[in-house]
Amino acid sequence: MADDFKKTTIKNFLIFVTAPTLLGTFGLYVAAYMVLIWASASIDSTEAAREAHRTEHIISELRTGIAREQESVTIWGDAVKMLHMPDGEERSAWLDANLGGWMHSYFGHDAAYILSPTNTPIFASFKGERQAPAAYKLVETSAQPLVNKLRKALLSGDEGGISDGMRSPGASDFVRVDGHPAFLSVKPIVPETGDLKAAGESYLHVALRFVDGDMLQTLAHEHALGEMRFSPSPTPLPGESNLSLMTEQGDLLGYLFWEPYKPGAAFLKSIEWLLFLTGVIFFVVVTTLLAAIYYRLIATRNSEERIRASRLRDPLTQLPNRLGFRKLLDETLADGASEQGFGLVYVGLDRFKQVNDALGPEMGDHVLREAAARIGRLTRNLGTLSRVGGDEFAFIMKGAKTPTCETLARKVVEVLGERFDVGDSHACVSGSVGVVMVSSDDQSRSELGRKAGIALHAAKAAGGARVAVFGHHMDNLIHDRLEVERALRTALADKQQFTVVYQPKYEAKTHQITGVEALVRWQHPARGPISPAVFIPIAEETGLINDLGHYVLTTACQTAAKWPLAKVAVNVSAVQLKEASFAASVAEVLSLTQLAPGKLELELTETAWLDDSGDTSSNLGELRELGVKIALDDFGTGFSSLGRLRESHVDRIKIDQSFVRGIGQSDRDEAIVRAIVDLAKANRLEITAEGVETTVQSEFLYDIGCDELQGYLFSRPIVAEKVEALLASGTDRTASITPFQE
């Protein structure tokens, strides 16, 4: 009878409770999945439209970019002079090296032609190889309307084309050459004065770049577009986006097709495992809840166990979390492991925040999971690895001695130094390790954690990718840092302990002073002078850099407003640039001090320039509109790209002194400096070399085209009164002035 009752209960439970509940659960899961599919499709559609608009803008910019690239050789007195020389091998070779092959090797132009004032081809180059002038026939039909248009503009004195960064008129359009779409641009070859009066006597430079082929692959790579192709047919492949190529007369040349980026689909794909896991968990949970109605006591006990376990585990890496690690450490101490001694190892990822900000949280999560896997492989047979913080891990080595722990720590540093890859993206981080050797005297979990954290901080402070074993001297270092921070807060209350000094900058050719760079110095009443290398990082970490930076900016502008100098440079921290009100505060300082915006140059590092988080981009845009100059400091030590440099509004780059120091000693450093100068000149940027200490360095930098020099060869940082004395003396160097004592 009891068995029949049990069977009936089970049957009714399955029919009236289990089946409807499971069907309803499945329906909700399917509905939620369909909503995700619809949302991802909507996101993909919006992104495709935005990408198409961006691609159209990029293609337009490429056409004007070819004309700007031509101007690097068409506005050149030497070119005009050479073209008026008698025809011969010397002239042909010069034209090939400067107006033909160089345009192909440096800018990627496919062909270059030069037309005489009578529109007769006198030079031709294709794919970097010199050809007979008759090769112009390839583009003559397409180029003739543009040549006629430009000749007409030159004869009429029309300078309408001189705008948007163009210094000479020109004519350009999309054309079809030998069955391929191409950009074609025509520019007059004129001297640097831009004299266009003798229009009938101007030689013309014709530049050709095919749109399909390598250019499409480069375009797709530089602007993160899918694989691109050109076709005269308007029929796309499934899923492709397209853009029609039209001439200025409205003629259709064909279509560009590419695989659009689908963030919605990518996101959906990236969480497929999570959706599946969620569905499974949801099904298991529902089943468990149903069973709980029938087996309440057992289900309740299992549920409590699962909740307890989840509280001790990190969901991203599936490692024990901070709470779980504390439990493991308490158990280790309770087992008497400290009697035999053991090692407590803390691992922290270096530069993880920059990776997370630059590449996104998805890449950051991947780095954390991969880092956990790499460390886990090293510690698999030694104990349990835990994740105790955002980018920090911890591990206990029972019975280990100091050399053993240090050996493991170095292996951890080594594996974390390898590149992290996910899809087409990669990140380079490193790991720092802090080690505490635990003895029978150490029984407090919190004290052990504090010491391990101090050791880890010491490893990071030493530059990262290092191992530090806790010693009692580290307590003193931490205490000293806190004392400096407290002293800094006190000093910023009245600013009396700070002095702004100025290091002059000199023209490379004449050694005449052109401007100064403002630098802050701190004279503590008890500690004496404190190095900027010590207090500036502390100011940035604590946010005090905003107050300190405003003081330096105000003092420098107020002082420089009285000097007959072209500019004053002030360093700006990445922390300041992220503040929404930074540009407005600069404008307020300029108004208060009556310093012309064009005389202020803000120097920022490549890291700050590349950081798009916060309000950095909007601040830089507002400062440019205000007329303030922007300089990239320590250029060559960061991660700047040529594309970003050409697109950004930067006025000057400063060559880092680490490269300047090698001039006269290292061919490699000299080659790097020369390449940086060529890059700056190609992008019409001013160049300053810092850290110049020898005449050999000075002469080399002048010879390769550096505009401005700064360093101890000319002057150390000096106080404002000595700058005034320097300006009053009219001398070109500060040899007669005692340098400011650092």
Give me the half-sphere count of Cα atoms (radius 13 Å) on the Cβ side of residue 552: 27
Q: What is the pLDDT of residue 518?
A: 95
Choose among 569, 573, 503: nearest CA to 536: 573
> Helix, strand, coil % (nearest 5) of the chain?
50, 20, 25
**Per-domain residue ranges of the chain:** 52-258, 271-310, 312-470, 501-729
Two structure tokens written together for 581: 């009100």
The 3-state DSSP class for residue 387 equals strand
Q: What is the pTM of this model?
A: 0.47
End-to-end CA distance of the chain: 99
In angstroms, the CA 215 to CA 232 distance is 17
Q: Which residue has the higher pLDDT, 16 or 328?
A: 328
| Tens of pLDDT, residues 147-162 | 988 888 888 776 655 6
Q: Are 633 and 663 in contact (CB under 8 A)?
A: no
How is residue 727 written in tokens?
């300006």
3-class SS of residue 131: strand
pLDDT of 35: 83
At residue 297, does pLDDT exceed 50? no
Question: What residues contact 116, with CB distance under 8 A and at least 6 apart?
Answer: 122, 203
CB atoms within 10 A of CB 317: 21
CA 578 to chain centre: 15
The verdict on domain 501-729 having CATH code 3.40.190.10 is no
Q: What is the pLDDT of residues 170-193, one digit of tens each?
A: 888 888 888 788 889 999 998 887
Q: How far apart are CA 228 and CA 237, in angstroms?
A: 12
pLDDT at residue 5 is higher than 70: no
d(Cα 711, Cα 654) in Å, to the nearest integer? Answer: 12
Q: Which residue shows structure tokens 């505060």? A: 585
Tokens of 183: 């950009």
- What's the CA gap between 349 and 10, in Å, rounded? 55
Cβ atoms within 10 Å, residue 627: 13
Q: Cα–Cα distance between 141 and 131 in angstroms, integer? A: 18
Q: State the Cα angle at 464 between 355 and 330, rounded to 5°.
A: 95
In whole angstroms, how far apart are CA 412 and each of 319, 372, 455? 17, 10, 15
3-class state of residue 260 by DSSP: coil
Which value, in Å, is the radius of gyration of the alpha carbons in the chain? Answer: 34
Beta strands in 477-615 (DSSP E): 498-507, 513-524, 528-530, 567-571, 600-605
Helix (H, G, I), strand (E, B) or coil at 709: strand
Instruction: Dig out the tokens for 685 from the structure.
Output: 């940027």
Counting Cβ atoms within 10 Å, is residue 382 exposed (0-12), middle (13-18) or buried (19+)? middle
Number of other residues whose CB lies within 10 A of the CB of residue 361: 9
Which residue from 261, 232, 227, 260 is spatially nearest to 245, judged by alpha carbons?
232
Q: For the ranges 74-83, 258-267, 573-582, which has the lowest average pLDDT?
A: 258-267
Contact 512, 732 (CB under 8 A): yes
- DSSP secondary structure letter of residue 739: P
Determine how β-strand 513-524 pairs with β-strand 528-530: antiparallel
Mean pLDDT of 697-725: 93
Query: What is the reported pLDDT for 641?
Result: 46
Statement: residue 313 has pLDDT above 90 = no
Instruction: State the pLDDT confidence band at 441, using cuts at 50, 70 and 90.
Output: low
Query: 191 and 76 in contact (C-beta within 8 Å)?
Result: yes
The answer to whether the beta carbons of residues 501 and 718 sit under 8 Å apart is yes
pLDDT confidence tier of residue 223, bands split at 50, 70 and 90? low
pLDDT at 701 over 90: yes
Q: What is the arithmetic mean of pLDDT over 589-610? A: 87
Q: Are 48 and 266 in contact (CB under 8 A)?
A: no
- In one-letter notation, the amino acid at residue 637 is T
| DSSP conformation letters of 200-255 | GG-EEEEEEEESSTHHHHHHHHHTT---EEEESS--PPTT-EEEEEE-TT--EEEE
What number is the average pLDDT over the span 329-357? 79
CATH number of 52-258: 3.30.450.20
Residue 67 near residue 90, CB atoms below 8 Å? no
Q: What is the pLDDT of residue 647?
A: 55
Q: With 70 as the cut, is the pLDDT of residue 336 above it?
A: no
Mean pLDDT (the chain, rounded): 82
What angle is formed at CA 109 by the lines to CA 104 and CA 112, rounded to 5 degrees? 85
Q: What are phi and psi of 84, to 5 degrees?
A: -90, 0
Give the contacts of 520 (CB within 8 A, at least 6 positions apart): 498, 499, 500, 501, 532, 548, 551, 552
Residues 225-266: tens digit of each pLDDT: 767 777 777 777 777 777 777 777 777 777 777 777 777 777
Q: Please choose, from the candidates 194, 77, 202, 88, the residue with its C-alpha nearest in 3D space to the C-alpha of residue 150.
A: 202
With 0-12 / 13-18 / 19 or more C-beta atoms within 10 angstroms meaning exposed / middle / buried, residue 339 is exposed
Where do we find the tokens 């009578």? 118
Question: CA–CA separation, 377 vs 359, rounded Å?
Answer: 26
Helix axes of 263-270 and 19-74: crossing angle, nearest 10 degrees: 130
Check residue 657 and give its pLDDT.
86
Enumerate residues 6+ apart whose C-beta is below 8 A from 44.
260, 262, 263, 264, 265
pLDDT of residue 387 exceeding 80, the answer is yes
Q: Report whether 133 contacts 124 (CB < 8 A).
A: yes
**Nearest CA to 169 among 178, 182, 156?**
156
Q: Which two tokens stand for residue 237?
A: 């492949």
Residue range 162-169: average pLDDT?
Answer: 73
Confidence (pLDDT) at 115? 93
Select from 232, 47, 203, 177 the least CA-distant residue to 121. Answer: 203
The most confident of the ranges 275-284, 600-609, 666-675 is 666-675
Q: Residue 180: count other Cβ atoms within 10 Å of its Cβ.
A: 16
Which runs of consecutive H residues, i.e. helices, occur in 683-738?
A: 695-703, 720-729
Q: Under CATH, which architecture does the 312-470 domain have?
A: 2-Layer Sandwich (3.30)
The answer to whether the Cα torsion of 678, 682, 683, 687 is positive or negative is positive
Does residue 737 register a pLDDT over 60? no
DSSP string, 21-71: HHHHHHHHHHHHHHHHHHHHHHHHHHHHHHHHHHHHHHHHHHHHHHHHHHH
Render 475-517 in DSSP notation, one character per residue: HHHHHHHHHHHHHHHHHTTT-TTEEEEEEEEEETTT--EEEEE
| Segment of 22-36, 199-213, 660-674 carrying the highest mean pLDDT | 660-674
Greater pLDDT, 606 or 592: 592
Please give the Cα distance from 569 to 630 (Å, whole number): 9
- What distance in Å separates the CA atoms of residue 52 and residue 55, rounded to the nearest whole number? 5
